[in-house]
A and B are shown apart, each in its own frame.
Chain A
Amino acid sequence: MYLHEFQAKNIFKENGILVPKSFLLKDVKDIASVLKFFSGTDLVLKAQIHSGSKYKYGGVIFVNKNYDELHSAVNKLLGKVLVTDQTGLEGKVVNEILIEERLDIKIEYYVSLFFDRNSEQLKFLISFSGGSGIEELGCTQFLDVNVNLLIGICDYQIREIIFFLKLDVKYFSDIKNLFVGFLSIFLKYDLLLLEVNPLIICNDKFFCLDAKVEVDDNSFYRNNTMKELFDFRQENVIENEAKKYNLSYISLDGNIGCLVNGAGLAMATMDLIKLNDGSPANFLDIGGDATEERVFQAIRIILLNKSVKCILINIFGGIVRCDLIANSLVKSFSRLNVSVPIVVRLSGNMSSEALIIINKSGLNIKTESDFLVATKKVIDLSKGNI
């Protein structure tokens, strides 16, 4: 789960890391308070959406210190939909604007701390040309600093950072406090990523001008406050609905709804559809305990996507019994009044019994035990060939 910039900066502040003075604007009516809060400094307005590259796509507006453009700048962002290269075409709604005093930038640094899958350890990545567009700077020189969780950050590593960034040694304790602070935040809140771009020096102090934080969803049981920070308005509506029932669902842009047990098999099903010139409308893993209620919710959620023209249900019955799935399907169909055609492929545990149950139901469900034949059948349906 990603946090908003203002949420991440609140955490930084609480942990003694400097960020610019700021005001979170949620309502145009509060502009008067903004004017009272700041006095005579240039401002920067930042749309709070879950996306990078905001500056490039108009999500960041500078306002000079006489504030006559503040009103129009707020109106350009608040309540508007912002589309960037990371939001998808539907974009994301700006519900909050983070208004900050504009600090004088002389030199920018990039710092991130993340879990590196390749080496299976935590790693700092540091570079001395920060600012937006770091993603494109593939050739920039980075300093890697590995963190041993049992030891923490060592002084020699702080020295490496200082020499790499060509900083004066007088900043040793500032840099040490900063990096120790980043690491302790990372561990305290179970993060997967903490990124500051840029980090700057202003009046001899280090400030984080931006903050990007990703939290490990699996840690919510010990991190309740993090879970509450989740902004569901930033996510796909159907994916949110699926989350309520612990179904793993991802929207795609095709027209064949997919219901599969197991994440690997669900991906393989999407791939087989594509390989045969069809187009999946979603990824959905119903998981190991495919109870009647879960089957019902899964079909209901698949049908929330109005592009769905037909559904492929692919169940490999291992521990899950296919006959139980078949009964759940038949019941769900009558409850939901399903009007799109369905192809069901059931294989494995109790699958012949399951096929009898479905065929006897008289519902518009085609059964097939062969994976490829079932896939081709549903693709034909999606193209109106049957």
Chain B
Amino acid sequence: MNFFLENEARVICQGFTGNSGTYHSKLSIDYGTNIVGGVTPGKGGSVHLGLPVFNTVKDAVLSTSANASIIFVPAKFCKDSILEAIGSGIKLIVCITEGIPILDMLYVKRVVSEHNVFFIGPNSPGFVIPGICRMGIMPCDIHKSGSVGIVSRSGTLTYEAINQTTLCGLGQSMSVGIGGDPIIGLGFSDMLSFFEKDINTKIILLIGEIGGSAEEKAADFISLNIRKPVVAYISGVNAPVGKRMGHAGAIISKHGGDAESKIKALNDKGVCVIRSLPNIGKVLLSKYKSFYNVL
């Protein structure tokens, strides 16, 4: 299952000529990502960052054989842009945009599930395979090729974790932010099974937060399907009930979603949960050593 396309990715950027699209496309190109062009309706035919700009995703696919898209389009146009990417045959979509209405995502999710599309986000920082591919907005210089597979619902918190795994020497096989919204594309279980099969990944770090029940479902999934060691961190232990903590999806409701229940669910299935954020690197390293009998 090579759904991140790795060296075969031919990436376009929707919202290419906007501020974020320009800034991050440039960083990604410098990182080595195979960006082949971009889409901005009305600017087709022009050249941006030395690459062709197209009016539609269909045009971009026809002339560049693009198979992946990174979306920076503003929230109010984003549903349309995602549907355009799917409708034009794009197979891997990463959506950075934050603030898409839930009803829009309900429709989008339905269409995603009817097509063979890998959809990451929305409200995601994207992913990085160190030294190979960067799709998104993660900082470039914190990554190091290595053995930890990182999957997270957060942004800067993920950078903090990536940095710790770099400093402790383990490095990352891949770091992916699946998004902080209530409805997202690929979830924990999709990434967990990817990491389980991925030969570069030796240990998995799962970063969850309050809201919903994705961590509880991940705990069940891990106990049934994952043999590699998994370490978790859950943020929002002290978040008040009923308040949205920044991310649209980070809210404890009267029906649940609090951090302690998630931590308990993971602990019950044998997953080690780190309480103190600065210990992530240290704990991963000791788990790695004990699991693989390394000194």
**Residues of A participating in the B interface, judged by any CB pair closer than 8 Å:** 86, 115, 117-118, 120-122, 135, 149-150, 187, 190, 192, 216, 218-219, 221-222, 248, 250, 252, 260-268, 270-272, 274-275, 280, 283, 285, 288, 316-319, 347-349, 370-372
CB of B103 within 8 A of CB of A263, answer no
Find A275's partner among B154, B243, B247, B275 (CB 8 Å cutoff): B275
Main secondary structure of the interface of A (DSSP, over half): mixed
B277 on the A face (CB < 8 A): yes
Find A267's partner among B109, B242, B245, B254 (CB 8 Å cutoff): B245
Residues of B within 8 A of A262 (CB): 154-157, 159, 246
CB of A150 within 8 A of CB of B245, answer no
Given the known A-B contacts A216-B101, A275-B275, A371-B278, are A150 and B156 also in contact in the complex, defined by CB atoms under 8 Å? Answer: no
Tell me the minimal C-beta distance from A90 to chain B in angstroms. 14
Tell me the minimal C-beta distance from B89 to chain A in angstroms. 22
Given the known A-B contacts A117-B212, A118-B212, are A187 and B243 also in contact in the complex, defined by CB atoms under 8 Å? Answer: no
Given contacts A265-B157, A288-B155, 9 further A-B contacts (CB under 8 A): A86-B242, A192-B102, A216-B101, A222-B76, A250-B240, A262-B159, A264-B156, A264-B247, A271-B259
Residues of A within 8 A of B227 (CB): none
Tell me the minimal C-beta distance from A191 to chain B in angstroms. 9
Residues of A within 8 A of B139 (CB): 317-319, 348-349
CB of B236 within 8 A of CB of A267, answer yes
Residues of A within 8 A of B223 (CB): none
Residues of A within 8 A of B110 (CB): 149-150
CB of A264 within 8 A of CB of B163, answer no
B209 on the A face (CB < 8 A): yes
Residues of A within 8 A of B238 (CB): 252, 267, 270-271, 274, 280
CB of B237 within 8 A of CB of A252, answer no
Residues of A within 8 A of B152 (CB): 264
Q: For the complex, give the distance between the alpha carbons of A137 and B106 in Å.
A: 30
Tell me the minimal C-beta distance from B206 to chain A in angstroms. 13
Residues of B within 8 A of A118 (CB): 212-213
Tell me the minimal C-beta distance from B103 to chain A in angstroms. 6
Q: Tell me the nearest residue of chain B to A318, going by C-beta.
A: B139
CB of A266 within 8 A of CB of B245, answer yes
CB of B103 within 8 A of CB of A190, answer yes
Q: Tell me the nearest residue of chain B to A370, going by C-beta.
A: B278
Q: For the complex, give the distance between the alpha carbons of A318 and B156 in Å.
A: 8
Residues of A within 8 A of B154 (CB): 262-265
Find A250's partner among B158, B213, B243 (CB 8 Å cutoff): B243
CB of B106 within 8 A of CB of A121, answer yes
Find A216's partner among B102, B138, B235 (CB 8 Å cutoff): B102
CB-based closest 6 A-B pairs: A263-B246, A264-B154, A262-B156, A264-B157, A318-B139, A267-B235
Q: For the complex, give the distance between the alpha carbons of A250 and B205 in Å.
A: 28
CB of B103 within 8 A of CB of A187, answer yes
Q: For the complex, give the distance between the alpha carbons of A86 and B254 in Å.
A: 11
Residues of B within 8 A of A372 (CB): 276, 278
CB of A283 within 8 A of CB of B276, answer no
Q: Tell me the nearest residue of chain B to A276, going by C-beta.
A: B276
Given the known A-B contacts A120-B183, A149-B107, A319-B137, are A283 and B142 also in contact in the complex, defined by CB atoms under 8 Å? Answer: no
Residues of B within 8 A of A347 (CB): 160, 163
Tell me the minimal C-beta distance from B294 to chain A in angstroms. 26
CB of A219 within 8 A of CB of B158, answer no
Q: For the complex, give the distance between the alpha carbons of A149 and B23 in Å.
A: 37
Task: Among B155, B236, B248, find the residue whose CB has the most chain A CB atoms closer than 10 A.
Answer: B155
Given the known A-B contacts A118-B213, A280-B238, are A266 and B246 also in contact in the complex, defined by CB atoms under 8 Å? Answer: yes
Q: For the complex, give the distance between the alpha carbons of A272 and B155 in Å.
A: 18
**Residues of B participating in the A interface, judged by any CB pair closer than 8 Å:** 23, 75-76, 99-103, 106-107, 109-110, 137-139, 141-142, 152-160, 163, 180, 182-183, 207, 209-213, 233, 235-240, 242-243, 245-250, 254, 259, 275-278
Residues of B within 8 A of A216 (CB): 101-103
Tell me the minimal C-beta distance from A54 to chain B in angstroms. 16
Given the known A-B contacts A121-B106, A221-B76, are A263 and B180 also in contact in the complex, defined by CB atoms under 8 Å? Answer: yes
Given the known A-B contacts A250-B240, A263-B247, A348-B142, are A218 and B100 also in contact in the complex, defined by CB atoms under 8 Å? Answer: yes
Q: For the complex, give the distance between the alpha carbons of A272 and B278 in Å.
A: 9
Q: For the complex, give the distance between the alpha carbons of A187 and B101 in Å.
A: 11
CB of B209 within 8 A of CB of A267, answer yes
Q: For the complex, give the distance between the alpha carbons of A348 and B103 in Å.
A: 37
Find B159's partner among A248, A275, A348, A370 (CB 8 Å cutoff): A348
Given the known A-B contacts A115-B182, A275-B275, A348-B163, are A268 and B101 also in contact in the complex, defined by CB atoms under 8 Å? Answer: no
Find B246's partner among A117, A271, A285 (CB 8 Å cutoff): A285
Sampled A-B contacts (14; CB under 8 Å): A115-B102, A120-B109, A190-B101, A218-B248, A248-B245, A250-B240, A264-B209, A267-B235, A274-B237, A275-B237, A283-B246, A316-B159, A319-B139, A347-B160
Tell me the minimal C-beta distance from A292 to chain B in angstroms. 17
Task: Among B180, B233, B236, find the residue whose CB has the most chain A CB atoms closer than 10 A.
Answer: B236
Tell me the minimal C-beta distance from A151 to chain B in angstroms. 11
Residues of B within 8 A of A218 (CB): 75, 99-102, 248
Q: For the complex, give the distance between the alpha carbons of A265 and B139 in Å.
A: 15
CB of A275 within 8 A of CB of B106, answer no
Q: For the complex, give the distance between the alpha carbons of A264 and B98 in Å.
A: 14
Q: For the complex, give the distance between the alpha carbons of A360 and B243 in Å.
A: 39
Q: For the complex, give the distance between the alpha carbons of A214 and B272 in Å.
A: 37
Q: Tell me the nearest residue of chain B to A122, going by C-beta.
A: B106
Tell me the minimal C-beta distance from A199 to chain B in angstroms. 21
Q: Tell me the nearest residue of chain A to B184, going by C-beta.
A: A120
Task: Among A192, A216, A268, A348, find the residue whose CB has the most chain B CB atoms closer than 10 A.
Answer: A268
Find B138's partner among A120, A219, A250, A318 (CB 8 Å cutoff): A318
